[in-house]
Structures are given as structure tokens and as C-alpha cells.
Amino acid sequence: MKKIIAIISGILILAIVCIAISSLFINDKEQNNVTQNNYDNVSEKTNVINDARSEISMIKLSVNDKILSIKLENNSSSIAFIEKLKDGEIIINANDYGNFEKVGELGFSLPTNDKEITTEVGDLILYQGNKITLYYDTNTWNFTKLGKVQNVTQEELKQILGDGDVTLKFSILNEESKAPTIKLNSGYEMPMLGIGTYSLHDETCVNSIYTAIECGYRKIDTAYMYGNEEEVGEAVRKAINDGLIKREDIFVATKLYPNQFDNPEESIEQALEKLDIGYIDLMLLHHPGTNDVKAYKAMEKYVEQGKIKSIGLSNYYIEEIDEFLPKVTITPALVQNEIHPYYQEREVVRHIQELGIVVEGWYPLGGRGHQKELLSDEILVKIAESHNKSVAQVILRWDYQNKVVVVPGSSNPDHILENISIFDFELTDEEMKEIDSLNRDEKHDWY
């Protein structure tokens, strides 16, 4: 009997132990689930932060009549600063300190991420959580870096900031900073201002386009002859991968050169391969040449396949267009020609627009060897000063008000930002007439 009781007791103890162990495993599994859920939540929060970072990574700094671009750091301080900027422009009255910085009160506090930093020219620093300092020289201290003014030398920045007190105006590049669109006869919307890439190559090209996208550009103009289709595609893919844009947000145009007209299908496939962005938004014939109709008809086939969305011409004028149109099926969506205040081609522009074709101007700022003269024109300088804008902005605004699309090129981040900042003012009718009076019929390139 004692043996039976002992056996039963042993079984009961074993059962209790098993239950306890099972309970531990269950609790451990539940704990693992909770832990995993916590990881998921952290991941979700991290994604939110990354989204906030990718949404805005460049801001605008206005100092007197100068516009500077600031590339932001990826930290909680800069993200909090962005959130404040979403409520409106932040204006700081800054004074000189130590002959190496301008410092001013924020009027509110931001989270800090202090660490020892040796500042560089253009560094935007958060100090003590409630002060903004902009450095034009070096200093070593525990700071939080918010960002850095792009593409400015020490002497340039010192000159812009001047001696004594200065007003710093910070703002974000919102939807209003982006170029309005115009509807092409193909049914697609296209931004009325983009970045040209004629002289951009290698990393300079990639970085310039990426900066342009950060600044709100959504149109890029390239060509086979520019030799940079691969870099353009790389920049667009990088911007997509970084969450700045989706493919459908960006409008990419390229061109076939006359030496490609004999075998246009192969040339189109090469462009698609080099760009590697799925499809081409707009393809142009770069200028008239033997077999241009053959090349255009090949582009028409790619429109039918959906690999090209819109097609058009470049450097075609009244006689060339009128001769060309009866030979093709799809009316060009756009014609791109040289247009600037010294070469306005008003009759050509009017003729093209009356055909329901959008006009785009290359060399909008005068082009190689002529830009300095145009940007120094007394009439343009006077108009620019009256609007507190640059001459380049006045010219681009003149084009916009004439319904002419423009693609100014630059590798300078400040000029890139300046060129798209033309939608917050308007030229008067009298000012438009003054610019019209500058026409010399002076063509600056042979096309």
C-alpha cells in the first residue's frame, strides 16, 4: 500500500513539475511575442522618423536678398525644427559673436543631440536647445548640428551675413515651391520648370539632380548627346529609393540625335536601358536631320507600347514644323527651341502654341559666353531690384508668364533653389513689355 501511495505521489509531483515547466514555456513564448511586437512598434516608429526625414531634407534660408539652401541632418532635432517650420516661416534676429558666428534666440526649445563638434563654414547649430547659430568660421564645443548651408565659401557667407545684426528667415520648400504643371496634348501633365543637364556629368550630375529633387523639381531634361542619361537615371532611382519621390512624380525627357535616326529602335532601347526608370516621359528629336521622320515614327510605336509617354521636337521652327507635321501621325506634344530675352522668337512661339503644342526654351539665361551680359542688363536689373529677386528669376518668370516652359541648368545648390523660387511674385504688364523690348533676334547657338 505504501508503495502505491509513493508511486501516486511521485506521479502527482511529476505532473506538477510538468505543468510548471509548461507554464514557463508559455510565458516565455508570450513574452517573446510581446518582445517581437515591441520590435515591430520600434520599427514602425523608426519608419515614421525616416518618413519625416525623407519628406523634407532641404530648407531655404533667406538673408537680405540672398537665398541659401540648407541640407539638414538626420536627427530628432532637425525633424523637430521641420515640424516647427511647417507652421510657417521662422525669423531670427541674429547678432555677431566671437567673430565666427551669428547667434539668435529661437523663441522655443528643440530636443538636443549634443556632441563635441568642430564647426565648418555654413554649419547651422542648435545651442542649448533654444538658440540658432550660423557659423562662418570654426569653433569646437558641444553642439547639436541641424544642417549645413550648401556651396558657399567663407568669404561669400561673411559678405552675405554682413557686420552686426542680421535677420535670418528659415522656410521649407512646400508644394507651393514646386513648379505648376501644363497639360500636354498627349494628356499628361508636365512641370513648367525643370533642370537642364547639358553640362552635368558623373557625380556632379547625380548630386545636382538629387539636390534639385530635394528642392522641389519634378522635371529633368537630358539627351543622348549630353552623355549623362545613366547618371540621370541613377539620381532618379536614388531619390525613389530614399523615399523623396515616386516614379510617377518625376518627368524625365531625353532626345535622339540625328546620328541615331538611321536605327531609331536600337537608340530608343539604349535610352531606356541607360535611364533604367521603367519608361520615358518625353522623347524629342534633337534637331532636324536625315531620316527624322523615320525616327519619329519609331517613337510613335514606342508610345503605343507605353514605353514612351509623349514625343516631340527640338530646334524646329515654323517652316520645319509645317513641313514635318503632315508626315507623322502623332502631333508633337512639345517643341524645344532657344528662347531668351535677346532671342525671343515671338512669331515662332505663337505659331507653335496655336498648333496646340507646348513651347520649351533652352538657354533661358542666355547660354555659354552670353549669360554675364544678359544677367547684367540694366532693364532686367531694375526689374529684379523692384521685386527683391535676381535677374535670373525675373527672366524665368517672364518665360512662365509667356507660357514657355524652361529648363535652366546648374550644379550650384543655391542657384538650383533660386531658379525654382519664381512662383511667389508676378511681373506687371509694363515689366513684361520692357523685357519684350530687349529682343535683338540674337541667336546664341547654331541649332
Helices H / strands E in the chain, number of each: 14, 19
Q: 44 falls in which pLDDT band (50, 70, 90)?
A: very low
pLDDT, residue 186, reads 98
Burial of residue 100 (CB within 10 Å: 0-12, 13-18, 19+) is: middle
Nearest to 182 by CA among 403, 330, 353: 403
Please give the mean pLDDT across all residues of the chain: 87
Collapsing DSSP to helix, strand or coil, 307 comes out as: coil
Helix or strand holding residue 30 (H, E): helix 2-55
pLDDT, residue 332, reads 98
Q: 40 falls in which pLDDT band (50, 70, 90)?
A: very low
The domain ranges of the chain are 58-172, 176-436
**In the numeric block, which cell numbers belong to residue 236?**
532618379
In the chain, what percentage of residues exceed pLDDT 70? 86
In three state form, how does the secondary structure of 74-142 look?
A: CCHHHHHHHHHHCCCCEEEEEEEECCCEEEEECCCCCCCCCEEEECCCCEEEEECCCEEEEECCCCEEE
Strands 404-406 and 358-362 come out as parallel
Is there a catalytic annotation at residue 226?
yes
pTM of the model as a whole? 0.75
Same fold flag, 58-172 and 176-436: no
Domain 58-172 indexed as CATH 2.40.100.20: yes
| Residue reference for cell 568669404 | 155
pLDDT digits (tens, 9 = 90+) for 56-78: 778 889 898 788 889 899 999 99
Burial of residue 16 (CB within 10 Å: 0-12, 13-18, 19+) is: exposed
pLDDT, residue 55, reads 57
pLDDT, residue 46, reads 25
Task: Name all contacts of 138-141 with Cβ < 8 Å and 24+ positions apart.
Answer: 138/100, 139/98, 139/100, 139/101, 140/116, 141/116, 141/117
Nearest to 172 by CA among 305, 260, 78, 307: 78
Q: How distant is the alpha carbon of residue 203 from its chain centre?
A: 16
Task: Say which of 224, 226, 302, 343 is annotated catalytic.
Answer: 226
pLDDT digits (tens, 9 = 90+) for 344-398: 999 999 999 999 999 999 999 998 888 999 999 999 999 999 999 999 999 999 9
pLDDT digits (tens, 9 = 90+) for 198-232: 999 999 999 999 999 988 999 999 999 999 999 99
pLDDT digits (tens, 9 = 90+) for 312-333: 999 999 999 999 999 999 999 9
Domain 176-436 indexed as CATH 3.40.50.720: no
